Amino acid sequence: MNPRYSSIFGHVSDWIFDLDNCLYPASTGLFELIDERMGGYIERLLGCGTVEAKRIQKAHFHQHGTTLAGLMREHDVDPHHFLEDVHAIPLDRIARDDRLALGLARLPGRKLVYTNADEPYARRVLEALGVGEHFAELHDIHAAELRPKPDRHGYELMLDRFRIDPANAAMIEDMAQNLKPAKELGMTTVWVDNGSERGNHGHRPDFIDLTIADVGEWLEEMLDENGETE
């Protein structure tokens, strides 16, 4: 391991990765397709227009953490039906990422995915990226008992389910707010600042240990044993 990173990650045996806009670039725009389907779902559900559906969608997201959480609470939506519908998107915007696959293959320890999406969709994305074989486990919104990140409950369920010692775990996320519970539980945290979220803070919060721009690039640099120290 590159000496630059050994003091931060030398103890890590479990690597927990977010999925969307984290393992692939936010510039891919894949979530835009999901966002469109969410709007369409709300239009059909409530019989409203596009503008009102978008307003409701975003209001639920900001108030409840996810659009789904708000729809379940206020409109008794079946989560399985909703997730199956909104994730029925083509994945042709995603290309195989050989650098990411190589980095994950070289990364010592167990690799997991923790996502607010559901497992069938997550598996499709991982296969499209060509990295599915590198992830031992997957913790989705159903495994989190439909309480999305950053609700601490889902993190605790994951730690218990996979017998993860948070002191020996690292979490990699593109949503900075989702790293706060991870740090509180004792994990090392990595924020993928790739444009999907721009915080209002003027400095890196103390619950973020490292900021990177691209997961594959970071893994390549970190696992370069000949890297120079700063």
Question: Would you write out the chain's pLDDT as a tens digit for each of its 230 residues?
Answer: 898 899 999 999 999 999 999 999 989 999 899 999 999 999 999 999 999 999 999 999 888 878 998 999 999 999 999 999 999 999 999 999 999 999 999 999 999 999 999 999 999 999 999 999 999 999 999 999 999 899 999 999 999 999 999 999 999 999 999 999 999 999 999 999 987 665 444 467 899 999 999 999 999 999 987 654 33
Question: What per-residue confidence (pLDDT) applies to 64?
Answer: 83
> What are the residue ranges spanned by the domains of the chain?
3-26+94-222, 30-86
Q: Which helix (H) or strand (E) holds 121?
A: helix 119-129
Question: What per-residue confidence (pLDDT) applies to 200?
Answer: 43
Distance, CA of 104 to CA of 88 (rounded, Å):
27
- CATH number (1.10.8, 1.10.150, 1.20.950, 1.20.1070) of 30-86 reads 1.10.150
Taking domain 3-26+94-222, whether its CATH number is 3.40.50.1000 is answered by yes
Question: What per-residue confidence (pLDDT) applies to 196?
Answer: 63
Distance, CA of 140 to CA of 116 (rounded, Å):
6
CA-wise closest residue to 2 among 190, 215, 212, 224: 224
